[in-house]
């Protein structure tokens, strides 16, 4: 009888432990962030070696011409390149522009074709979700400093650029280069597109925190996203199907990844598309076979504690 009670009690403890472990995992799952090998087969992490990480891109604001010096938009761009503006770039998990780029942008701000149609009231800006949090930080500080409100919405880079071309907004924020077809459309609408590099972003590759794979080559990453590899065992991981997550086609990240990693080829038809970085992180957190690409700021704030040990070889 006593042995049965002990055995029963032990079983209950096991169940309780399992439930507690599951509860902890559900509430604080986190993700892993892969290091990526460059063409010289040297691995770099976007969290530890951003300057050398091979999947880094500029982030942009586009305007119709150069805003006149007395306009709100001029002050907005001037603020973004200020020490305060670039400090928020760091706070949001991105990388500030280099001094060379900053000087070039400041020269551009004070030259070129001036658009006198920009007023000195509210500013409207639309586009990239990747830039959403950073733009919000900028907008809040800008309004506090200058009393000028910046109205933001983040339907994706492509939609933001379209809104600018159609005259619906003052500026577009984008996580990719503007396309030739968009430039042609702008020209047809008498919109003079001016490009402003405002920050840099690493596109982090996130996986489930229990995935034993910790680094990947650019070629293997291409193979995952074009459907060549379908199981993690093909890459030294578990015998587990690879579940692909990516951004939707309105996103600049979608286009950038397609060009930079897939060499312009099509994504696998099995890739599930999402409208935000946060949704991809949430999916990867809860799927052992999951893999996704997100802005490094989203990856860093979701990094699992266990992953730090893996990366350090513990």
Q: Is the pLDDT of residue 245 over 80?
A: yes
Distances (CA, A) of 230 to 107, 208, 238, 245, 291: 49, 16, 12, 13, 11
Q: Is the pLDDT of residue 20 over 50?
A: no
Yes or no: say if 253 and 207 are a contact pair by the CB < 8 Å rule. no
Domain covering 57-201 assigned CATH 3.40.190 in the classification: yes
The answer to pTM > 0.85 is: no
Report strand pairing: 66-67 vs 114-115. Answer: parallel
- Give the residue-averaged pLDDT of 112-141: 95
Distances (CA, A) of 295 to 92, 299, 301, 303: 10, 7, 11, 13
Q: Is the pLDDT of residue 141 over 60?
A: yes
Q: Is the pLDDT of residue 266 over 80?
A: yes
Mean pLDDT of the chain, nearest integer = 89
- pLDDT the model gives residue 53: 93
User: How distant is the alpha carbon of residue 286 from its chain centre?
Assistant: 20
Cα separation, 77 vs 300, whole angstroms: 27
Reported as a pLDDT band with limits 50, 70 and 90, residue 113 is: confident
- pLDDT the model gives residue 274: 96
Buried b (16+ CB within 10 A) or exposed e, 170-192: bbbbbbbbbeeebeebbeeeebe
* Helix (H), strand (E) at residue 44: strand 43-44
Both tokens of 289, joined, read 């076979």
Yes or no: say if 44 and 53 are a contact pair by the CB < 8 Å rule. yes
Reported as a pLDDT band with limits 50, 70 and 90, residue 123 is: very high
- pLDDT the model gives residue 13: 39
Domains 31-53+203-311 and 57-201 share a fold: yes
- pLDDT the model gives residue 309: 54
Reported as a pLDDT band with limits 50, 70 and 90, residue 311 is: low
Domain borders along the chain are 31-53+203-311, 57-201
Residue 14 burial class via C-beta count within 10 angstroms: exposed 0-12, middle 13-18, buried 19 and up: exposed
- Give the residue-averaged pLDDT of 3-7: 43
For the chain, give the percent of residues with pLDDT over 70: 89
- pLDDT the model gives residue 147: 97
Yes or no: say if 297 and 279 are a contact pair by the CB < 8 Å rule. no
- Give the residue-averaged pLDDT of 142-146: 98
The pLDDT tens digits for 67-102 are 999 999 999 999 999 999 999 998 898 999 999 999
**CATH topology assigned to domain 31-53+203-311:** D-Maltodextrin-Binding Protein; domain 2 (3.40.190)
Buried b (16+ CB within 10 A) or exposed e, 237-276: bbebebbbbbbbebbbbbbbbbebbbeeeebbeebebbeb
- pLDDT the model gives residue 310: 67
Q: Is the pLDDT of residue 301 over 90?
A: no
Q: Is the pLDDT of residue 106 over 60?
A: yes
- Give the residue-averaged pLDDT of 279-292: 96
């Amino acid at each position: 009888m006593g042995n049965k009670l002990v055995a029963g009690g032990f079983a209950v403890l096991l169940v309780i432990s399992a439930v507690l472990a599951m509860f902890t995992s559900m509430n604080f799952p986190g993700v892993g962030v892969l290091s990526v090998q460059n063409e010289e087969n040297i691995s770099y992490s976007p969290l530890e070696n951003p300057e050398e990480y091979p999947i880094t891109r500029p982030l942009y604001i586009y305007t119709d011409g150069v805003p006149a010096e007395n306009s709100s938009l001029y002050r907005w761009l001037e603020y973004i390149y200020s020490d305060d503006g670039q400090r928020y770039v760091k706070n949001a998990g991105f990388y500030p522009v280099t001094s060379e780029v900053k000087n070039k942008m400041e020269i551009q701000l004070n030259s070129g074709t001036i658009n006198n149609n920009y007023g000195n009231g509210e500013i409207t800006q639309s586009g990239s979700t990747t830039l959403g949090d950073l733009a919000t930080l900028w907008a809040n500080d800008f309004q506090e400093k200058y009393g000028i409100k910046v109205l933001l919405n983040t339907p994706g880079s492509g939609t933001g650029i379209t809104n600018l071309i159609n005259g619906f907004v003052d500026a577009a924020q984008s996580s990719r280069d503007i396309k030739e077809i968009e430039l042609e459309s702008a020209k047809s609408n008498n919109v003079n597109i001016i490009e402003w590099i405002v920050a840099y972003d690493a596109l982090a590759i996130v996986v489930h925190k229990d995935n034993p794979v910790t680094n990947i080559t650019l070629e293997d990453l291409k193979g995952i996203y074009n459907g060549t590899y379908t199981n993690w065992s093909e890459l030294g991981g578990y015998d587990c199907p690879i579940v692909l997550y990516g951004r939707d086609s309105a996103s600049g990240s979608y286009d950038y990844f397609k060009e930079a990693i897939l060499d312009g080829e099509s994504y696998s038809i099995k890739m599930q598309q999402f409208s935000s970085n946060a949704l991809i992180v949430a999916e990867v957190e809860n799927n052992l076979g999951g893999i996704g690409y997100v802005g490094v700021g989203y990856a860093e704030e979701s990094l699992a504690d266990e992953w730090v040990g893996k990366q350090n070889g513990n």
